[in-house]
Copies of this chain bind each other. A is one copy, B any other.
Amino acid sequence: MDQENKIPAVTEDLLMKSIRTKKSSIALSQSSDEQRCQALLAMADALSKDSSKIIEQNSEDIERSQRAGLSNSLISRLKLDEAKLNDSIEGLKKVAFLSDPLGKVEIDRELADGLFLQRLTVPLGVVGVIFESRPDALIQIASLAIRSGNSAILKGGSEANLTNLAIMSSLIQGLEHSQLPSDSLCLLTTRQESLALLHLEKYIDLIIPRGSNELVRFIQENTKIPVLGHADGICHLYIDSKANLEHALEIAIDSKCQYPAACNSIETLLLHEDIAAPFLSLAIPAFEKLGVLLLGDEMSQSHGILHKVSEIDWSSEYLDLKLSIKVVSHVDEAINHIRLYGSMHTDAIVTTDSEVAKKFMFSVDSSGVFHNCSTRFADGFRYGFGAEVGISTQSLPPRGPVGLDGLVTYRYFVKGNGHIVSDFSSGLKTFTHKDLSNEIKS
B254 to A395, Cβ gap below 8 A? Answer: no
Q: How far is the CB of A236 from chain B (nearest CB, A)?
A: 15
Give A282-337 interface residues, CB cut-off 8 Å to B.
Answer: 335
Give the complex CA separation of A246 and B418 in angstroms.
9
Q: How far is the CB of A346 from chain B (nearest CB, A)?
A: 8
Which residues of the other chain, B, contact A205 by a CB distance below 8 angstroms? Answer: 395-396
Q: Does A49 count as interface, using CB distance less than 8 angstroms? A: no
User: For chain A, what secondary structure do more than half of its interface residues adopt (helix, strand, loop), or is it mixed?
Assistant: mixed
Which of A259, A366, A372, A421 counts the most chain B CB atoms within 10 A?
A: A421
A418 to B247, Cβ gap below 8 A? Answer: yes
Which residues of the other chain, B, contact A376 by a CB distance below 8 angstroms? Answer: 420-421
Given contacts A115-B377, A397-B410, A399-B409, contact A422 B362 (CB under 8 A): no
Q: Does A163 count as interface, using CB distance less than 8 angstroms? A: no
Nearest residue, chain B, Cβ from A362 = B30
Which residues of the other chain, B, contact A124 by a CB distance below 8 angstroms? Answer: 395-396
Given contacts A29-B363, A396-B226, A420-B254, contact A373 B415 (CB under 8 A): yes
Given contacts A370-B414, A412-B400, A440-B442, contact A395 B258 (CB under 8 A): no
Nearest residue, chain B, Cβ from A253 = B420
A371 to B416, Cβ gap below 8 A? Answer: yes
B409 to A397, Cβ gap below 8 A? Answer: yes
Q: Which of the residues B2, B258, B361, B411 comes within 8 Å of A2, measured between beta carbons?
A: B2
Which residues of the other chain, B, contact A250 by a CB distance below 8 angstroms? Answer: 418, 420
Give the complex CA separation of A206 and B397 in angstroms.
12
Q: Does A374 count as interface, using CB distance less than 8 angstroms? A: yes
Q: Does A425 count as interface, using CB distance less than 8 angstroms? A: yes
B395 to A206, Cβ gap below 8 A? Answer: yes
Q: Does A384 count as interface, using CB distance less than 8 angstroms? A: yes
Give the complex CA separation of A409 and B366 in angstroms.
11
Q: Does A41 count as interface, using CB distance less than 8 angstroms? A: no
How many copies are assembled? 2
Number of interface residues of A (CB under 8 A): 77
Q: How far is the CB of A261 from chain B (nearest CB, A)?
A: 14
B378 to A412, Cβ gap below 8 A? Answer: yes
Q: Does A111 count as interface, using CB distance less than 8 angstroms? A: yes
Q: Does A122 count as interface, using CB distance less than 8 angstroms? A: yes
Q: Does A417 count as interface, using CB distance less than 8 angstroms? A: yes
Residue-wise interface mask of A (241-267) relative to B, using a CB-CB cutoff of 8 A (1 in contact, 0 not): 000101100110110001100000000
Nearest residue, chain B, Cβ from A340 = B202
Which residues of the other chain, B, contact A259 by a CB distance below 8 angstroms? Answer: 421
Nearest residue, chain B, Cβ from A441 = B440
A367 to B411, Cβ gap below 8 A? Answer: yes
A422 to B258, Cβ gap below 8 A? Answer: yes
Q: Which of the residues B246, B258, B413 comes within 8 Å of A369, measured between beta carbons?
A: B413
Q: Kindly list the 4 A-B residue pairs having the minimum CB-CB distance in the complex, ordered from nearest.
A: A373-B416, A254-B420, A384-B433, A247-B418
